[in-house]
């Protein structure tokens, strides 16, 4: 009974203690919040007044314009094609009895090298026959000349006078001409037989590389059949397409006998980025590219397979597409700028007296990297290289080094 009374007496005291603790924690949280607010206000940066123009001027980077003599480089894509190519065909028929060891795809042969032989037996027999026919015709001519001599003697013994027509008949002039014609015919037939025998041996018409071969030993070939495809190894062409607007800046070898413009060829996939070959701009093909409507030009490359070049020189591959950088004619008294500095509608942004000046310029030529301006910029003009969010003529500009100086102050 006494324990129950004590518990009831203790409960009000524990309730008051809990409420006190809660109040104390609330007060501490409130004080911490007030202290934090005071700290924030005490450390807030103070606003200062400054020059409005200085705060709104756009930070830019500029490049100084240079006027002078520059040589443009017109870069296009070109395709390697043969300068000389032939499809080898026989001029006589027969069975192939022999092939040269080098006569296979990829093989290289010198001019005059025998590539294959056709069975010459029939042509040797025909040659012997033609020689016999010629000997017979010459013998007949000698006999006829003897008959004519006898006829002249008989005519002189008769002492008769005949007109010119009858005189020729009596002296056997027609028979003599006929015998001489048979000799000429037999000589021509012999020459033809000799040529046919020579043509059973087929040789390379020039220093060449074999691209394809269509026969084997034992093949029966006829006149006009394809035997092989050969290309000359002394020179290749690179056929490139150039915009019509850039033609007047190119220097061709065929014009006035002058040397063609230097051309640098690159084929990164096959040669790597550091190796290249040199060529010369040869001629303008008088036809537009059917697809792109561009002008076609030919670049001449000597020793394309690097057979006589220094060790390590790359060789050209027929049909490959190569980067073709053609050196153009030198341009005098022009300003050269990076292409990305030319803005819309052929304008350039210039910083003049701390303000933006949008200049109209005259573009003389564009190549892959630069534009060449004849008018609109002068030596030393500060060209804005930074892309601006707001482009207004007269907008305030400032340079990066000037901005750093302001920060230091």
27-51 pLDDT tens trace = 778 778 777 777 776 665 444 434 4
pTM (two decimals):
0.70
pLDDT above 90: residue 16: no
Q: Convert the pLDDT of each residue in 242-285 to its tens digit.
A: 998 889 899 898 665 678 899 999 999 999 989 999 999 999 98
CATH topology for 74-83+234-327?
Elongation Factor Tu (Ef-tu); domain 3 (2.40.30)
* Residue 184: closest CA among 133, 124, 125: 133
Tokens coding 286: 């008088």
The string of DSSP letters for 9-46 reads: HHHHHHHHHHHHHHHHHHHHHHHHHHHHHHHHHHHSPP
SS3 at position 284: strand
Consecutive H or E run containing 87 = strand 85-88
Burial 289-302 (b: 16+ CB within 10 A, else e): eeeeebbbbbbbbe
Backbone angles phi, psi at 167, to 5 degrees: -60, -45
Q: What is the structure's pLDDT at 256? A: 53
For the chain, the average pLDDT equals 84
> In this prediction, what percent of the chain has a pLDDT beyond 70?
83
Please give the CATH number for the structural domain made up of 58-69+331-408.
2.40.420.20
- Is the four-CA dihedral 357, 360, 366, 368 of positive or negative sign? positive
Backbone angles phi, psi at 289, to 5 degrees: -60, 130
- Higher-pLDDT residue of 259, 238: 238
Q: Enumerate residues 6+ apart whose C-beta is below 8 A from 91.
A: 196, 199, 223
Burial 54-93 (b: 16+ CB within 10 A, else e): eeebbebebeebebeebebbbebebebebbbeeebebebb
Q: Convert the pLDDT of each residue in 141-155 to its tens digit.
A: 888 888 777 766 665
Radius of gyration of the chain (CA): 49
* Residue 381: closest CA among 137, 156, 65: 65
Same fold, 58-69+331-408 and 74-83+234-327: no
The domain spans of the chain are 58-69+331-408, 74-83+234-327, 120-199
| Helix segments in 84-240, DSSP class H | 121-158, 164-170, 173-198
Q: What is the structure's pLDDT at 4? A: 46
Backbone angles phi, psi at 373, to 5 degrees: -110, 130
| Residues 359, 348 contacting (CB under 8 angstroms) | yes
CA distance 340 to 389: 16
Among the ranges given (56-60, 187-191, 296-300, 310-314), the one the predictor scored with the smallest mean pLDDT? 310-314
DSSP at 396:
B
CA distance 240 to 77: 6
Question: Which region holds residue 159: left if phi is over 0, alpha if psi is between -120 and 50, else beta?
Answer: left
Among the ranges given (27-31, 52-56, 208-212, 301-305), the one the predictor scored with the smallest mean pLDDT? 52-56
SS3 at position 97: strand
pLDDT band for position 160 (50/70/90)?
low
Q: Enumerate residues 6+ apart whose C-beta is below 8 A from 201.
A: 114, 117, 118, 120
Q: What is the structure's pLDDT at 221? A: 95
């Amino acid at each position: 009974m006494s324990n129950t009374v004590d518990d009831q007496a203790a409960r009000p005291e524990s309730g008051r203690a809990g409420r006190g603790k809660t109040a104390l924690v609330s007060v501490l949280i409130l004080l911490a919040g007030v202290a934090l607010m005071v700290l924030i206000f005490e450390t807030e940066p103070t606003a200062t007044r400054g020059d409005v123009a200085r705060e709104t001027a756009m930070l830019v980077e500029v490049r100084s314009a240079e006027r002078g003599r520059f040589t443009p480089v017109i870069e296009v894509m070109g395709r390697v094609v043969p300068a000389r190519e032939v499809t080898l065909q026989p001029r006589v028929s027969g069975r192939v009895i022999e092939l040269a060891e080098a006569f296979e795809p990829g093989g290289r042969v010198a001019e005059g090298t025998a590539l294959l032989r056709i069975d010459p037996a029939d042509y040797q027999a025909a040659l012997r026959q033609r020689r016999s026919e010629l000997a017979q015709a010459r013998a007949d001519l000698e006999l006829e000349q003897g008959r004519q001599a006898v006829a002249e003697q008989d005519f002189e013994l008769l002492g008769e006078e005949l007109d010119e027509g009858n005189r020729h008949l009596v002296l056997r002039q027609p028979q003599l001409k006929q015998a001489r014609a048979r000799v000429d015919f037999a000589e021509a037939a012999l020459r033809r037989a000799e040529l046919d025998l020579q043509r059973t041996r087929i040789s390379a018409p020039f220093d060449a590389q074999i691209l394809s071969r269509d026969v084997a030993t034992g093949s029966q070939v006829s006149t006009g059949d394809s035997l092989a495809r050969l290309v000359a190894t002394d020179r290749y062409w690179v056929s490139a397409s150039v915009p019509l607007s850039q033609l007047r800046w190119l220097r061709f070898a065929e014009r006035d006998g002058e040397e063609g413009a230097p051309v640098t060829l690159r084929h990164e996939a096959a040669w790597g980025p550091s190796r290249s070959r040199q060529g010369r701009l040869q001629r303008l093909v008088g036809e537009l590219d059917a697809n792109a409507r561009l002008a076609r030009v030919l670049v001449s490359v000597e020793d394309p397979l690097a057979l006589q070049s220094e060790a390590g020189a790359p060789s050209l591959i027929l049909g490959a597409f190569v980067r073709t950088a053609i050196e153009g004619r030198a341009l005098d008294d022009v300003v050269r700028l990076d292409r990305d500095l030319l803005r819309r509608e052929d304008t350039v942004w210039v910083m003049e007296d701390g303000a933006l000046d949008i200049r109209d310029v005259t573009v003389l030529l564009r190549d892959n990297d630069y534009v060449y301006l004849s008018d609109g910029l002068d030596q030393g003009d500060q060209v804005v290289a930074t892309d601006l969010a707001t482009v207004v003529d007269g907008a305030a500009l400032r340079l990066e080094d000037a901005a750093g100086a302001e920060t230091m102050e």
